[in-house]
Structure 1
Amino acid sequence: MKTLDIVAAVLLVVGGLNWGLWGAFQFDLVAALFGGNTTLLSKIVYIVVGLAAVYQAVALRAIQRRWNVASVTA
């Protein structure tokens, strides 16, 4: 499961960088790498990044326990 945690985290970093590039320069790195934002491969990347975000959001407590991270409470 730790491998899945790492893959999801890397995908979130990639997604965040892509959003940052889009916001700052209107440059979509995923679309540039995979032939446009409407290609099947680009759509798959967008979906996988979205699923990684859902996984991280839903499994946050379990991930914290798995990695022995103290939870942050407000």
Structure 2
Amino acid sequence: MKWFDNTALTLVIIGAVNWLLVGIFKFDLVAFLLGDLSWLSRIIYTVIGLCGLYLISLFGRINEISES
């Protein structure tokens, strides 16, 4: 399960960098590479969003690890 946590965290970081580019430069890297809301870019956005939701569980797991 650790590999899934690391993969999800990596994808969320990539998504955060994309939002940073959008906020500072108005440049959407995903749309630039895959097309403006093409089916593939929508899949990428969905996967990154699901990884972000999954990582909410990380808060509970960090608490468990620190108590051990």
TM-score range, shorter chain: 0.7 to 0.9
Superimposed CA distance per residue, residues 30-71 of structure 1 (whole angstroms, 9 cap, x where no aligned partner): 1111122x10000000000000000001x2123x35xx4x27
TM-score (norm. length: structure 1): 0.80
Distance (Å, rounded) in 2 between the aligned partners of 1:11 and 1:40: 18
| Number of residues of Structure 1 aligned to a counterpart in Structure 2 | 65
Q: Which has the higher contact order (CA 8 A, sep 6+)?
A: 2
Identity %: 42
Alignment of 1:11-26 (within 5 A): 11-26=11-26
2:42 alignment counterpart: 43
TM-score, structure 2 as length reference: 0.86
Please identify runs of 4+ aligned residues in structure 1 that moved more than 2 A. Answer: none
Give unmatched runs, 5+ long, in structure 2. none
Matches within 5 A, 1:1-74: 1-36=1-36, 38-57=37-56, 59-60=57-58, 61-62=60-61, 64=62, 65=64, 68=65, 70=66
Higher share of residues assigned helix: 2
Question: RMSD of the TM alignment (CA)?
Answer: 1.4
